[in-house]
Chains A and B, each alone.
Chain A
Amino acid sequence: MTLACCTIDGEIFQPYKLEGEDAERWTSTAGPGLKRIEFLCPQASQPQAMARIESQLPKLDGVKSARVNLTGRRVVVVYALAEIEPQALIDRLGELGYMARPFDPRETGLVKDDREGAKLLKALAVAGFAAGNVMLLSVSVWSGAEDATRDFFHWLSAMIALPAVAYAGRPFFYSAVNALRLGRVNMDVPISLGVLLASLMSLFETINGAEHAYFDASVTLLFFLLAGRYLDHLMRARARSAISQLVSLSADGAIVIANDGCRSYLAARDLKPGMLIAIAAGDRLPADGRIIEGASDMDRSLLTGESSPESIEPGSLVHAGEINLTGPVTVEITAAGNDTFLSELVRLMAAAEQGQSRYIRIADRLARFYSPAVHTLAATTLVSWLVLGHGWHDALMAAVAVLIITCPCALGLAVPAVQVVASGRLFRSGVMIKDGAALEKLGNVDTVIFDKTGTLTRGEPALVSQSLASTETLALAAGLAQASKHPLSRALLREVARRGLTPIEVQDVTEHPGQGLAGVYSGEQLRLGNRAWCGADEAGEDVGLLEFAFRRGAKPPVLFQFEDQIRSDAATTIAGLKQMGLAVHLLSGDREAAVNRVAGLVGIDNPVSRASPQAKLGFVDALSRAGKKVLMVGDGINDAPALAAGYTSMAPSSASDIGRTAAQTVFMGESISAVAEAVAVSRRTQAIATQNFVLAVGYNVLAVPLAMAGLVSPLVAAVAMSTSSIIVIANALRVGLGKTGGNRNTRRSTNTDAAADEIRRAA
């Protein structure tokens, strides 16, 4: 069997096709006749993947090397241009069981992230080097070096510290200047002022051969602060690179049929109204349009939240984002690019985002009070020393000591350290937080709104009625279903595979869009489809279930009932959220019967059904205006405006691209308990961050009077600063303690292992 498609975690996928696309744009030159191409492989998350890909891929002719990056789930391949095509690499990766998609790191902003991280790390290394050496010299001075030796050590310190401050302090200096230019004050203003004044004052003292110099204080300060800054960066970069891997694996474009019948591939942005496009079964529509030819069923779940597909025929209107399920159709584009229904939603989303008041992070809120207070204290010290009759020199030294001791070293670490530990813990249990602000907001929410399809439910139907259906019936129905991409057919196949059955081969299978499938097995007519297609009784109440009828020859038809299965831990998660004192709502675009059934099962009162994207947005806005802090959890395109409007938002990793972009947090895997866990961890983070602030401010309250009295020698400053930073970091590590989502983790990896085994058997 040629592997036209493969199965991963029970899902059927088509390998990415480069056809019509310019493969050149993904590659770069790696030597004479050699090209380098990078792929994203979301499944390459296990160490086995690394060994497999790196040993199997180079066996292809023309492949020079393949290297897997397990952290980024990427594969870099160097190949000979004349010997192999990139498509062959994608196909081979598909056969090995890894979906691959060419990827240009320049496009996603990852390169910029990496460069920023490397810059911070270099600054951190330089500051660390300087701090170590200057501290060595300072310790000698404190232990009694005198006269010429002391001056020599001070000069040496100056020569190490001044260039280091100039180099490693740049991130703070730039940020402080930017803030001041905008007429605002942030934490970087007192930091920059403290570090610069300490260095310059020490230089002045050194020139005059005086006793005290604060070079060690300025470089260790920078070292601690850069550590905090790097931690903050690490957290954002980790989530961003993980989210960029989730980009859709399908090509964004369509085959255009010209007037003379010629077919060519065009990217979605180049499509124009009036063009005719051919959409194969299984493809996503790139634009709004009207069906010209063919009939099929459309999966509209991402757009409307409705779980059952809709039949379409020539003349029907279709929208960008829908998936064509059963038959090839020709579509005349009525709207493309910025005029589609989808773009309308994007505009709605942008408006909702703008309407939201800008969230100010805890550290910045504190900076508003902290900086003026610190600067007032320093100024007061200067003036009082002058008034008390000390000279300019002593007064200035005392003021600088105040600035050094209040330099928010522990404060700069207080929040990033806690947040990076918390986000690392959440990341391990599959929750990716886009930035620190999202984590802070998550700890404040008091209302949770869930979407139904794809969020509370898995978004894929599963067989529920097992009565009547014999093993043979199931295997025969599966034989028919193999030919179809209808979600119910795939659900039937999954069920058959789960029971360990093999579909029976059926001859002459034909698919009749909007009706069902037909085939022949040992002289008997087989039919699988809606009730009318199989001659079943049409009557029957809508209990919110989806169904397929199956008929064999003249026997009475059998009904298969499916439901969009609720995630296994939805009910416990919602009970847990309620226990935490959160109000829980359900907001869906699906039919009333289906919504009420799910709401009843998971325990949510007063669900809202048939909500349009605008209605969802209105619901969230109304709650926000009433002063509620809303966490919106949703996955669909129709949820995107509401996701953007919520105080904060979460989406499952299976969500639409636009949903994932709109959401501030993305969670992976089957389990929805991630929502409750994220809220719980965020609350704990908030509590520990507050403790850290109290510790850091408490240290200042103790130390500032000493500094104002002129009692802080460089030795005292160094000891006080290091201890306060260490205490704050030790406290931050407590977030990582306690019960973690370890069981979620194991479950996910066993799934992947099972899938890997399955692939190995198939290969």
Chain B
Amino acid sequence: MSVLLYLIPVALFLGGLGLAAFIWSLRSGQYDDLEGASWRILQDDDTPKP
């Protein structure tokens, strides 16, 4: 059962990482324009920003 001692923290850490990533994406406004985002990927504007 000693395997639990590190498997459970690993599971919780990975889950927490997902949660943190989701909250970060929410905060940075990635859900503000779902319709636009689906079109943006098709745009040919790959020129590097100055």
Contact = CB atoms under 8 A, between A and B. Distances in A.
A, B bound:
yes
B6 to A, nearest CB: 14
B32 interface: yes
A129 to B, nearest CB: 4
Interface in A133-151: 133, 136, 149
Nearest to A128: B19
A50 B42 CA distance: 12
Residue among A54, A69, A149 facing the most chain B CB atoms (10 A cut-off): A69
A110 B26 CA distance: 17
Nearest to B34: A71
Interface residues of B, number: 24
A129 B18 contact: yes
Given A71-B36, A156-B8, A121 B15 contact: no
Q: Which secondary structure characterizes the binding site on chain A? A: helix
Contacts of A200: none
A70 B41 CA distance: 13
A69 B23 contact: no
A481 to B, nearest CB: 39
A122 B15 contact: no
A191 B18 CA distance: 28
Contacts of B11: 133, 136
B19 A129 contact: yes
A47 B39 CA distance: 6
A162 interface: no
A50 B40 contact: yes
A68 interface: yes
Interface string A145-164: 00001001000100010000
A70 B33 CA distance: 6
Interface in A15-74: 47, 50-51, 54-55, 68-72
A117 B43 CA distance: 29
A251 interface: no
A164 to B, nearest CB: 10
B39 A70 contact: yes
A646 B43 CA distance: 47
Interface in B4-40: 4, 8, 11-12, 15-16, 18-19, 22-23, 26-27, 31-36, 39-40
Given A132-B15, A133-B11, A133-B12, A122 B36 contact: no
Contact of B33 (A71, A126, A132, A149): A71
Contacts of A68: 36
A125 interface: yes
Chain A CB within 10 Å — which of B11, B19, B31, B42 has the most? Answer: B19
Nearest to A46: B39
Given A50-B40, A149-B1, A71 B19 contact: no
B45 interface: yes
A118 interface: yes
A51 B40 CA distance: 8
Contacts of B33: 69-72
B23 A122 contact: yes
Nearest to B32: A69
A152 B1 CA distance: 12
A152 to B, nearest CB: 8
Contacts of A114: 32
The CB with the most chain A CB atoms within 10 A, among B11, B26, B39, is that of B39
Contacts of B4: 149, 152
Contacts of A156: 8
A125 B22 contact: yes
Given A121-B26, A122-B23, A129 B16 contact: yes
Contacts of B42: 47
B29 to A, nearest CB: 9
A129 B32 contact: no
B23 A125 contact: yes
B44 to A, nearest CB: 9
B26 A122 contact: yes
A136 B4 CA distance: 13
Nearest to B42: A47
A125 B39 CA distance: 26
Nearest to A47: B39
Nearest to A159: B12
Given A47-B39, A133-B12, A71 B32 contact: yes
B22 to A, nearest CB: 5
A129 B21 CA distance: 12
Contacts of B18: 129
B19 A125 contact: yes
B33 to A, nearest CB: 4
Contacts of A55: 45
A125 B16 CA distance: 10
Contacts of A71: 32-36
Contact of B36 (A70, A121, A136, A160): A70
Nearest to B18: A129
B22 A70 contact: no
Contacts of B40: 50
A114 B29 CA distance: 10
10 closest cross-chain pairs (CB), A and B? A70-B36, A47-B39, A69-B33, A129-B19, A71-B35, A70-B35, A71-B33, A125-B22, A133-B15, A129-B15
14 contacts: A47-B42, A50-B43, A55-B45, A68-B36, A69-B33, A70-B39, A71-B33, A125-B19, A125-B22, A125-B26, A129-B16, A132-B15, A149-B1, A160-B12
Given A50-B36, A71-B32, A125-B26, 9 more contacts: A47-B36, A47-B42, A50-B43, A51-B45, A70-B36, A71-B33, A122-B26, A133-B11, A160-B12
